[in-house]
């Protein structure tokens, strides 16, 4: 009896066969919205030190070369890998990322790979590539993120390389065998470590992932063979990054310490994990965003004013209090009430019933006072990104609200409306941003997806 095709074969065959007509409307909508989200984040970073450094680094590295890709905002011509590196760094520096199950931000790798590979692609081809890339990356990552982090790897770039490679491979017209080869080469090129950031440095993340992804795609296009069972094999990806190829987990979001590798390709095209991707609209860790929304909703619903609040308690998924991993908790992120902590964002929800998308670094004194009266209660049964918040008032009353975990999942019109707040911080005019919004909204009718890049250039 013949054995089943390898995981990478099944993923590659699905990617190669995926067409625009196969995409549900919700998937198309999410691909459009996440594209607008990531490009906006890149534009917000146009004057940042990180973005400038990335651009100067690539210009120096490619001096004398003939660039074929145009960098978002700057309009600079670089190689595809150089432009993608700069754009990944820009998206991260802009702070408006997407988030999948904590600690992975797919768009930071996928969108740059797609944008530099879509120069002659239609909007529909671009959307298919984006949808395939997110789905493959998130299926590979879903159950394994905490275990990968516990071994000292950063799950964002480690899994991001697969999404970036799938996007570029699909847009480059690779067949199933070549896409399989690209995925296989990604196993050799995946990287990302926690210790640099823990010891005072700055770790290279999705920028490296997208450069390596484009190398993997180029190798596959030229016929380089990457091996057959590189994901699930005895010495394969999951053995290397989680410690075994049997699905045993050291940690998980749900408390379940086993995962089925065979479930990764199961239901492709029917059950879209892609639709779990959140719009991390606030420039903070994903586990903080629901605290703003839930406390704000409580105060709105019951007309609670800041001066009435005695204290706030939130029951949260225990891993949200162990960032980035229970094996390597970060003292500066998990040390209690401080600017940027969950306590701080909860207080903002009470005081301002929201958080500014363009934060100038100044905070109301009421926020800085109230954050010291916020308590987080870790729970192994609480869903990820779904805190149960209780506000206690001075008159002895209490008001509770359970988050759904889907507070930051919405449709394209709502995404475009939320982003209107950042227009003053963009390098393009409000009228030009409206044209970009329209281009993203109408991507399925766009003749050339490169229009997205052009509209970001002042």
- What residues contact residue 308 under an 8 Å CB cut-off, 6+ apart? 393, 394, 395
* β 374-379/398-402 pair status: unpaired
User: How many CA atoms lie within 13 Å of 384's alpha carbon, on the beta-carbon side?
Assistant: 21
The rounded distance, in Å, linking the Cα atoms of 439 and 122 is: 12
What six digits make up the tokens of 232? 């699930």
Domain 7-280 has CATH 3.40.718.10: no
pLDDT category of residue 240 using cuts at 50, 70 and 90: very high
Q: What is the mean pLDDT of the chain?
A: 95
* β 374-379/309-317 pair status: parallel
Element (H or E) spanning 317, and its range? strand 309-317
Phi and psi for 32 in degrees, rounded to 5? -65, -45
Answer for the pair 113, 214: CB distance below 8 angstroms, yes or no: yes
Architecture label for domain 286-402: 2-Layer Sandwich (3.30)
Q: E strands along 48-135, which residues? A: 69-70, 77-78, 97-99
Q: What percent helix, strand, coil does the chain show, rounded to 5?
A: 55, 10, 40
What are the residue boundaries of the structural domains of the chain, listed by start?
7-280, 286-402
In sequence order, which ranges of 271-424 are alpha helices (DSSP H)? 286-302, 331-334, 342-351, 365-370, 412-419
Q: pLDDT tens digits, residue range 242-299? A: 999 999 999 999 989 999 999 999 999 999 999 999 999 999 999 999 999 999 999 9
In sequence order, which ranges of 303-364 are alpha helices (DSSP H)? 331-334, 342-351
Q: pLDDT tens digits, residue range 86-124? A: 999 999 999 999 999 999 999 999 999 999 999 889 999
pLDDT at residue 1, rounded to an integer: 45
pTM passes above 0.85: yes
The rounded distance, in Å, linking the Cα atoms of 192 and 92 is: 15
């Amino acid at each position: 009896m013949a054995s089943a095709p390898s995981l990478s074969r099944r993923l590659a065959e699905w990617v190669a066969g995926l067409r625009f007509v196969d995409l549900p409307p919700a998937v198309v909508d999410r691909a459009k919205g996440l594209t607008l989200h990531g490009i906006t984040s890149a534009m917000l970073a146009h004057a940042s030190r990180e973005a400038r450094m990335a651009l100067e680094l690539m210009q120096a590295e490619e001096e004398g070369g003939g660039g074929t890709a145009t960098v978002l905002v700057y309009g600079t011509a670089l190689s595809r890998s150089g432009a993608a590196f700069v754009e990944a760094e820009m998206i991260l520096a802009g702070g408006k990322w997407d988030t999948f199950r904590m600690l992975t931000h797919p768009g930071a790798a996928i969108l740059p790979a797609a944008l530099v590979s879509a120069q002659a692609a239609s909007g529909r081809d671009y959307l298919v590539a984006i949808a395939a890339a997110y789905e493959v990356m998130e299926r590979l990552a879903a159950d394994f993120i905490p275990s990968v982090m516990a071994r000292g790897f950063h799950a964002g770039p480690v899994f991001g390389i697969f999404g970036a490679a799938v996007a570029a491979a699909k847009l480059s017209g690779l067949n199933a065998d070549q896409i399989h080869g690209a995925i296989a080469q990604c196993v050799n090129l995946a990287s990302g470590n926690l210790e640099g950031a823990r010891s005072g440095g700055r770790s290279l993340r999705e920028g490296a992932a997208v450069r390596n992804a484009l190398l993997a795609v180029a190798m596959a296009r030229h016929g380089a063979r990457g091996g057959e069972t590189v994901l699930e094999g005895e010495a394969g990806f999951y053995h290397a990054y989680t410690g075994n190829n049997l699905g045993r987990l050291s940690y998980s979001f749900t408390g379940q310490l086993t995962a089925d590798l065979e479930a990764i390709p199961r239901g492709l095209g029917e059950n879209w994990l892609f639709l779990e991707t959140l719009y991390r609209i606030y420039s903070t860790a994903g586990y903080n965003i629901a605290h703003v929304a839930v406390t704000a909703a409580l105060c709105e619903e019951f007309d609670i004013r800041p001066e009435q609040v005695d204290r706030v308690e939130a029951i949260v998924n225990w891993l949200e209090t162990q960032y980035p991993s229970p094996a390597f908790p970060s003292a500066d992120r998990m040390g209690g009430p401080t600017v940027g902590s969950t306590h701080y964002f909860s207080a903002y929800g009470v005081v301002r019933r929201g958080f500014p998308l363009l934060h100038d670094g100044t905070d109301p004194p009421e926020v800085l006072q109230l954050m010291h009266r916020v308590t987080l209660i870790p729970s192994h049964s609480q869903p990820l990104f779904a805190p149960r918040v209780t506000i206690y008032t001075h008159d002895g009353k209490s008001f509770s609200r359970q988050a759904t975990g889907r507070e930051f999942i919405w449709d394209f019109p709502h995404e475009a409306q939320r982003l209107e707040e950042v227009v003053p911080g963009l390098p393009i005019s409000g009228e030009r941003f409206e044209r970009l919004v329209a281009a993203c909204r109408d991507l399925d009718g766009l003749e050339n997806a490169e229009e997205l890049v052009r509209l970001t250039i002042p």
